[in-house]
Amino acid sequence: MEVKPTRSELIKLKKRIKLAQSGYKLLKKKRDGLILEFFEILKETKSARKELIEKYKGATKKINTARIIDGDFAVKSAAMAIAKKPVVDVETKNIMGVVVPSIRSENVKKSIAQRGLGIVNTSAAINEAANSYEELLEYIIFVAEVETSMMRLLEEIDKTKRRVNALEFEVIPKMIRIKNFIQLRLEEQERETIFRSKRIKKKR
């Protein structure tokens, strides 16, 4: 037995289509916003990467200079004498509904006294090397935050794009096809009803 569609089913389907279209528009806005945010962070990441390489080269040069002037033993002793170790806390922040890391650090950049090194016994070369490596570590933390944020945004963009495409090319078109079919069947049913009622009138 054929199941005949009803007007209430058509009304419900129209509401679902409207809701899906509204969701599609919102997701498109979210996707576009995320892409803009991604490209802003991408610019920052590219320049940060270049800066990180430069800082690494500078720190390597400074530590090699300290090793030549003061010797490996003095450099290792200075490294072992550090009193306050760096503390890194990873928190989170929200970018358009995407949770990304917010990294905070303490005791990375230090004064000579905070390093636990004797002012008289420590050479300028060792202090310069320590400064360079502290700056490098601060920048590594910054780059880690920026790059992780970029990766999270990229994942969310990909997920949002899949949902947008599914709604645009699969879900909404399928519902519209079903709606059109139901409308057609209802129109046929109405014509059949009118035709039957006319025949009944004629017989009478």
Could you report the per-residue pLDDT of 79-125, keeping only the tens digit for each? 777 666 777 788 888 888 888 888 877 767 766 666 665 554 578 89
- pLDDT tops 70 at residue 191: yes
141 sits in which H/E element = helix 124-166
pTM over 0.85: no
- pLDDT tops 80 at residue 186: yes
pLDDT (0 to 100) of residue 156: 94
Domains of the chain: 31-182 (1.10.287.3240)
Residue 99, CA distances (Å) to 13, 27, 78, 92 in order: 35, 17, 40, 6
- pLDDT tops 90 at residue 35: yes
